[in-house]
Structure 1
Amino acid sequence: MRTSRPAALAACLAVTAAIFTATLPSTAATPDPTVVSQPVAGSSNVRVEGRRIILGDAPAAIGSTKLNQRTGLAELTPVRFAAPTSAVIVGYTSGTPDGSSADVAVRSWINNRWSEWTTAPAGTPTALPGASDQVQLRVILTAPPTGGSPSVADLTVQPTDKVAAPRMSVQAAPLKSHVFATREGLVGGTTANGHVIVSRDHFVALPSRRGLSGNGSGTYSVKVCTASRCAFEPVWDVGPWNTKDDYWNPSATREMWKDLPQGKPEAQAAYQDGYNGRKDQFGRIVANPAGIDLADGVFWDALKLADNSFVDVTYLWTGDGGRGTVSISSGYLNVRNAPNSTGAVVGMAGKSAQVTVECQTTGESVTGSQGTTNIWLRVNTGMYVAKAWISAGTFSTC
């Protein structure tokens, strides 16, 4: 069949236009980097000079890892993008005098909660656990007791599409593992997030900064249980033994020790199996299999432990489920075996800690920081806390 010249010309122009359009570079503008420099509540021992964050002047303090270091932590103002992104590029320069370090990490707001912190190398795309339009940066500075102070300058963050898949994901249920617990003690010392340890304190230490809460925050909290008692506590220190052993994450995404199974601390493998020549990441011979340190109030009062022992630990931020936040000004909240103030105390929940919520029921009317109510929350089988002291939504009836 013969084609007319006008029709042929139109077809040719259409093909040419299609080819031209396909080869044109994208006109979508890449968002400019957002400058980030202001620490928020929860930061400690840092000072800001213009666009530079510098380790503060607080003296070295021994924390759970028993390392004599000066430490500063800055959680910076969250950044919101115009649209969700699955990865970001963090820009910065760092100054690290001999023996010091400057680490930058990022987390994202997903499913109404903050994800775990992920190390963000400068200028390299960092994958987020999922698409998010809000991220936050954190700077951790460490140095020997004497010498120069490390710093990070010109911090920026911008979305990118250069990473195809998220690095981590939140599982349906938070990980629970059976690990060896030791008593931290060290009253008067300073934790990795700047908290000064008091007598009968309520917090725990885990051997990775990925799950470290800011000072006074319970964003990353654990449920620690024996056969008959449970404690809900914020993660405020790093240790025992290691500082890069996020053993609660899947093996493939662990920061170190990727050949160990999920849920098994490196110290436990070193002590029980001779792993890594029986040494921790600093080359010290591991003297016990500890995977968690407990502040004295958790160890003695909440769990009634007489000696170091194995406990069941649930890492609450690693999964979904009902949550509430302990809203008290200091100390702890009693966990009881019935929805009233005369029920036996079967555990405790520290200030700012997250608690699991299975359901709610009615009981004794209580007045607390959240008002007056007769609603009690079941946080574990046979364990209740008064909702008057818990910042939380509404849950199904028990």
Structure 2
Amino acid sequence: MRITRSSALAVCLAATAAFFTASLPGTSTAAVPDPVRVAAQPVAGSSNVKVEGTRIVLGDAPAAIGSSELKQRTGLAELTPVRFAARTSAVVVGYTSGTPDGSSAEVDVRSWTGNRWSEWTAAKAGTPTALPAASDQVQLRIIVSAPPTGARPWVGDVTVQPTGTAAGSGMTIQAAPLKSRVFATREGLVGGTTANGHVIVNRDHFVALPSRRGLSANGSGTYSVKVCTATRCAFEPVWDVGPWNTKDDYWNPSAIREMWKDLPQGKPEAQAAYQDGYNGGKDQFGRTVANPAGIDLADGVFWDALKLADNSWVDVTYLWTGDGGRGTVSISSGYLNVRNAPNSSGAIVGMAGKSAQVTVECQTTGQSVTGSQGTSSVWLRVHTGMYVAKAWVNAGTFGAC
């Protein structure tokens, strides 16, 4: 078993540097906040992990067959957010880890940008990790993975320290979220488990993207997409990783893209491999890419929301990458119908999955509906010619259409 103690080394080096700096004539040092110990207490939405003392350990669930990660057993734990006394542009995350027999352990960090969470960024122990924007609140996520049998990787003794010593990473929230045209495939795999621990049901509503940076926790729609054909749209949470790669955040600018930095923003590596022979026509695992897919759609999205008969090109908007009006679908299961008029007799022109974020362009008065948010005659326009009843959407007040 390999155990890392990078955090202890980082603290030692920092103390040594502070000593020598303070010893130089005419120099002064600003007080550096102490590291904050983060309790090993996974919050709601975490999956397949156990707590053993100060450690988060991979649980006993079998390999997730709903993802493309070569049938690894995976556990995901989001920890309680940490608030600092002041804003910081970077943090140092400390932790110990054990990764026996081909297993892996990763700690990610994200920051609160004022009205939403940023993407997740991998944090190397003891090394400053830049935040996308100065923030006084961060959250850590632990991901432990292992082959189908045997190893139980763990992460423990987690701390986070504000440093303010690194510039922002460039993952800023822009005025309009990125939209790209990508090839969509059907995921299927009913009964399988997604990368965030969701068990796939018949006619399910979620999507898979080839990077964990935009992976929502189970039951959450923090990272959601709008997927549209020429006549229909679906709003769905990102609950799985795939279909080909697992580190291809192609919606990000090249400068901060995790892999394949020479590809243009918005172009999936699988598409480049399939169409142009990029990377020898293979994905990150060395498999020959059989289609240019940049998104996987659960059956309910594929067949019901978008009415697709076969794999197809679609327009995908990555909602967390931009600003603008938003609401959250508040239903206990299934989906919310998107209609072509602000009433329940309007034709169904799409669907929005449980917990998904929806874009809101404006609001109008229509049929009175009773839902999870009470009784209301307000309808929200979520796309040109498309409406949802606000009675089922947790949202603020918007301008009139």
1:374 equivalenced with 2:364 (yes/no): no
CA contact (8 A) 2:340 2:347 kept: yes
The correspondence of residues 43-192 of structure 1 with structure 2, limited to 5 A, is 43-65=46-68, 67-192=70-195
- Structure 1 residue 24 displacement after superposition: 4.2
Paired residue secondary structure (2:142): strand
CA contact (8 A) 1:38 1:77 kept: yes
TM-score, length-scaled by structure 1: 0.93
Partner in structure 1 of residue 301 of structure 2: 298
- Structure 1 residue 32 displacement after superposition: 3.3
**Structure 1 CA distance for aligned equivalents of residues 196 and 328 of structure 2:** 19
Aligned letter for 1:301? D
What percentage of residue pairs aligned between the two structures are identical? 83
CA contact (8 A) 2:38 2:80 kept: no
Paired residue secondary structure (1:170): coil
Paired residue secondary structure (2:72): strand
Partner in structure 2 of residue 274 of structure 1: 277
- Structure 1 residue 252 displacement after superposition: 1.1
Partner in structure 2 of residue 355 of structure 1: 358
Equivalent of 1:263 in 261, 266, 277: 266
Paired residue secondary structure (1:300): helix
Q: Tell which structure's C-alpha radius of gyration is larger.
A: 1
Deviations 1:122-142 (A, max 9, x none): 000000010111000001111
Paired residue secondary structure (2:346): coil
Aligned letter for 1:93? T
1:391 equivalenced with 2:394 (yes/no): yes
Paired residue secondary structure (1:223): strand
Aligned letter for 1:138? R
Deviations 1:289-344 (A, max 9, x none): 00000000000000000000000000000010100000000000000000000000
Larger deviation, residues 160-169 vs 38-47: 160-169
**Structure 2 CA distance for aligned equivalents of residues 333 and 217 of structure 1:** 16
Deviations 1:66-92 (A, max 9, x none): 621111000000000011111100000
May I ask how many residue pairs the two structures share in their alignment?
379
The correspondence of residues 306-325 of structure 1 with structure 2, limited to 5 A, is 306-325=309-328
**Structure 1 CA distance for aligned equivalents of residues 345 and 52 of structure 2:** 54
CA contact (8 A) 2:67 2:193 kept: no
| Unaligned segments of structure 2, at least 5 residues | 1-22
Partner in structure 2 of residue 199 of structure 1: 202
CA contact (8 A) 1:127 1:167 kept: no
**Structure 2 CA distance for aligned equivalents of residues 344 and 206 of structure 1:** 29
Paired residue secondary structure (2:112): strand
Paired residue secondary structure (1:396): coil
Paired residue secondary structure (2:265): coil
Aligned letter for 1:310? W
Aligned letter for 1:73? L
**Structure 1 CA distance for aligned equivalents of residues 119 and 305 of structure 2:** 26
- Structure 1 residue 21 displacement after superposition: 12
Larger deviation, residues 60-69 vs 210-219: 60-69
Deviations 1:12-52 (A, max 9, x none): xxxxxxxx999242253423333332110010000011110
Paired residue secondary structure (1:85): strand
- Structure 1 residue 111 displacement after superposition: 2.3
Partner in structure 2 of residue 218 of structure 1: 221
**Structure 2 CA distance for aligned equivalents of residues 117 and 365 of structure 1:** 39
Deviations 1:359-392 (A, max 9, x none): 0000000000000000000000000000000000
CA separation of 1:372 and 1:89: change in aligned 2, threshold 3 A: same
- Structure 1 residue 169 displacement after superposition: 1.3
| Unaligned segments of structure 1, at least 5 residues | 1-19
Partner in structure 2 of residue 17 of structure 1: none
- Structure 1 residue 104 displacement after superposition: 0.7
Partner in structure 1 of residue 368 of structure 2: 365
CA contact (8 A) 1:322 1:358 kept: yes
Paired residue secondary structure (1:255): coil
Aligned letter for 2:196? N
Aligned letter for 1:307? D
- Structure 1 residue 64 displacement after superposition: 2.9
Paired residue secondary structure (1:38): coil
Aligned letter for 1:199? N
1:209 equivalenced with 2:212 (yes/no): yes
Partner in structure 2 of residue 8 of structure 1: none
- Structure 1 residue 53 displacement after superposition: 0.4
Aligned letter for 1:288? N
CA contact (8 A) 2:63 2:74 kept: yes
Deviations 1:246-267 (A, max 9, x none): 0000011100000000000000
**Structure 1 CA distance for aligned equivalents of residues 65 and 120 of structure 2:** 23
